[in-house]
Chains A and B, each alone.
Chain A
């Protein structure tokens, strides 16, 4: 294509250029320009000089990052572990719930129950943390009152940190499984009834039908959703880790992830160079995982690849 042809085409489509412009500009100022802020990872930030004029310090920030074992390895480890648990358990429960609702013959009841199951996803974690508190508080918490009124567990203190992976997993399931199952249900709704009828004629019982007809029908969607989620492996839902734990220092060992660390640092710690190094690490690993994930989806389910 010659430049002249290109210009002619662009002029012909000037209306489309105008229409694309507002979103183009928002993306530019909100997404693209901030990418340049990551150069702070190679700088010592001086507030009076600003981001771009602050002095370079090579890879010092990264050296600090790697040597600060307790922070870097802790938050990276937590991020990966929570990702694994949330993703595997979440997908499993999404599928189980979708099949359960799909098999339930009282459709009206199923609809009402599903509506209720989706509600938690609409409650922000800033609000959820008060609900969790009502269950866990040392003195007034429902669970402590019910089960160990004599020696209540101080959940929001360091000695209770081993409970939090379980607590956060339960909160996450409560929050997202009802919503997550919707996608799988739409796949189930698309299964041809004839397949069940054929299985029925072949003498398959309900369980056999689920295992041989229902579950295989879900495989493509499960594969796609799992692979796409790999792209977000370094990202966490900040709310669940920062809000629900009330960002309690004593719980960081088991609850702090990269995103909640970064948020905490912005609000409390002006060592932005160090935090930017963590941030850049997160973004680069995220990019690699995203490319990997999309490559795999492209191979297995080309229609579902993002690009």
Chain B
């Protein structure tokens, strides 16, 4: 089942009748429904600010301009900074999560290991019952005193029950027990068996889970909004949250020479610059995603069946 992934159904009667074109038309309509809002972001990012103010957002703007995007890229010191934070959090979080979750998954997949039964229950409980946002916020900020610490952008998303289950299922279903036994007979210890035999074979499931994790990290705005105060620690999503009220925060007035500011009539290209920022924030995920599509489709499928 998982093998076929994107190949849809096996080709049945390949009749290209009238019905197929009607079906194609509706699919195309839905595709446009999905795509047009994103296209509007791109167009608005390159629309002249005055034109946006007078005529509103449009797919066919009367005047294009690079001012908005130019402002964002040129003076957006904060943007560069936030990019660095987001990339750091995403990379560290994803790799750390994959590493410790796959070790945990490997440990609980050992049937002859008594403690694994306890560990399985221990893993499932947080999915059934957890403190929720408030209790987490209170403990993290008043007991751990980690307010404004990047750790709070990383650890809360590092280990998830569902992801461990996906990895464990993959180990149970796709990695032959005999292979591990053979390694042990050849004198490999458990660490070596895991790192040299099991981990390399887990690649497809790691790619699937890793991509889903990376997306969750990249798009996480809530933890940033709750915990991060300092400008230098703000990730991209928090920038978007803040922009709503003041684009200055992004263009950081210290970085704009006063004469430039005056030349712009003391107004910043707010609407177009905002959309330019949105584009710069969501762009990378959308560009990278098609390359991971087949993996994460596989991951979704693997996760739906318990081993």
Show the binding face of A for B, using Cβ within 8 Å. Answer: 1, 6, 9-10, 13, 15-17, 19-20, 22-24, 26-27, 29-38, 40, 47, 50-51, 97, 100-107, 109-111, 113-120, 122-127, 129-131, 134-135, 137, 139-142, 144-145, 174, 178, 182-183, 185-191, 193, 196, 200, 206, 221, 224, 231, 238-239, 243, 246, 259, 262-263, 265-267, 272, 275-276, 279, 282-284, 286-287, 290-291, 303-307
- Contact partners of B103 in chain A: CB under 8 A: 19-20, 22-23
Residue of A nearest to B26 (CB): A100
Let me know if B15 is at the binding interface, CB within 8 A.
yes
Cβ contact within 8 Å between B155 and A30: yes
Cβ contact within 8 Å between A190 and B56: no
Let me know if B265 is at the binding interface, CB within 8 A.
no
Let me know if B256 is at the binding interface, CB within 8 A.
no
Let me know if B301 is at the binding interface, CB within 8 A.
yes
Expressed in whole angstroms, the Cα–Cα distance for A129 and B139 within the complex equals 30
Cβ contact within 8 Å between A193 and B134: no
Cβ contact within 8 Å between B221 and A239: yes
Residue of B nearest to A282 (CB): B132
- Contact partners of B271 in chain A: CB under 8 A: 140
Expressed in whole angstroms, the Cα–Cα distance for A139 and B177 within the complex equals 65
The SS class assigned to the A binding surface is helix
Can you name 23 A-B pairs with beta carbons within 8 Å?
A: A27-B123, A37-B138, A51-B138, A103-B23, A104-B24, A105-B16, A106-B24, A117-B31, A119-B34, A119-B286, A122-B285, A123-B282, A124-B237, A126-B221, A126-B241, A134-B57, A183-B300, A185-B8, A186-B1, A186-B4, A193-B12, A262-B133, A284-B129
- Contact partners of A303 in chain B: CB under 8 A: 305-306
Which of B15, B122, B128, B143 has most chain A Cβ within 10 Å?
B128
Cβ contact within 8 Å between B129 and A174: no
Q: A19-B106, A115-B293 are in contact. Are A37 and B222 (CB under 8 A)?
A: no
The SS class assigned to the B binding surface is helix
Closest approach, in angstroms, between the C-beta of B79 and any C-beta of chain A? 14
Residue of B nearest to A33 (CB): B139
Partner of B129, one of A126, A200, A283: A283
- Contact partners of B261 in chain A: CB under 8 A: none
- Contact partners of A30 in chain B: CB under 8 A: 136, 155-156, 158-159
- Contact partners of B301 in chain A: CB under 8 A: 183, 186
- Contact partners of B92 in chain A: CB under 8 A: none
Expressed in whole angstroms, the Cα–Cα distance for A190 and B8 within the complex equals 9
Cβ contact within 8 Å between A259 and B278: no
Cβ contact within 8 Å between A206 and B131: no
Cβ contact within 8 Å between A189 and B131: no
Partner of B8, one of A116, A125, A189: A189
Closest approach, in angstroms, between the C-beta of A53 and any C-beta of chain B? 11
Closest approach, in angstroms, between the C-beta of A119 and any C-beta of chain B? 6
Query: Which chain B residues numbered 45 to 94 have a C-beta less than 8 Å away from chain A?
Result: 52-53, 55-59
Cβ contact within 8 Å between A130 and B275: yes
Partner of B115, one of A17, A34, A185: A17
Cβ contact within 8 Å between B115 and A13: yes
Closest approach, in angstroms, between the C-beta of B173 and any C-beta of chain A? 12
- Contact partners of A24 in chain B: CB under 8 A: 104, 119, 122
Let me know if B225 is at the binding interface, CB within 8 A.
yes
Let me know if B226 is at the binding interface, CB within 8 A.
yes
- Contact partners of A27 in chain B: CB under 8 A: 122-123, 126, 159
Cβ contact within 8 Å between B304 and A221: yes
- Contact partners of A135 in chain B: CB under 8 A: 37, 40, 57
- Contact partners of B278 in chain A: CB under 8 A: 127, 130-131
Cβ contact within 8 Å between A304 and B132: no
Residue of B nearest to A7 (CB): B114
Expressed in whole angstroms, the Cα–Cα distance for A43 and B144 within the complex equals 20
Q: A117-B30, A272-B138 are in contact. Are A15 and B190 (CB under 8 A)?
A: yes
Cβ contact within 8 Å between B56 and A140: yes
- Contact partners of B114 in chain A: CB under 8 A: 1, 6, 9-10, 13
Expressed in whole angstroms, the Cα–Cα distance for A113 and B25 within the complex equals 11
- Contact partners of B125 in chain A: CB under 8 A: 32
Expressed in whole angstroms, the Cα–Cα distance for A119 and B41 within the complex equals 14
Closest approach, in angstroms, between the C-beta of A11 and any C-beta of chain B? 11
Expressed in whole angstroms, the Cα–Cα distance for A13 and B10 within the complex equals 46
Partner of B56, one of A113, A116, A145: A145
Cβ contact within 8 Å between A36 and B139: yes
Which of B1, B113, B165, B286 has most chain A Cβ within 10 Å?
B113
Q: A124-B237, A140-B53, A142-B40 are in contact. Are A51 and B143 (CB under 8 A)?
A: yes
Cβ contact within 8 Å between B107 and A174: no
Expressed in whole angstroms, the Cα–Cα distance for A221 and B303 within the complex equals 12
Cβ contact within 8 Å between B133 and A116: no
Cβ contact within 8 Å between B35 and A116: yes
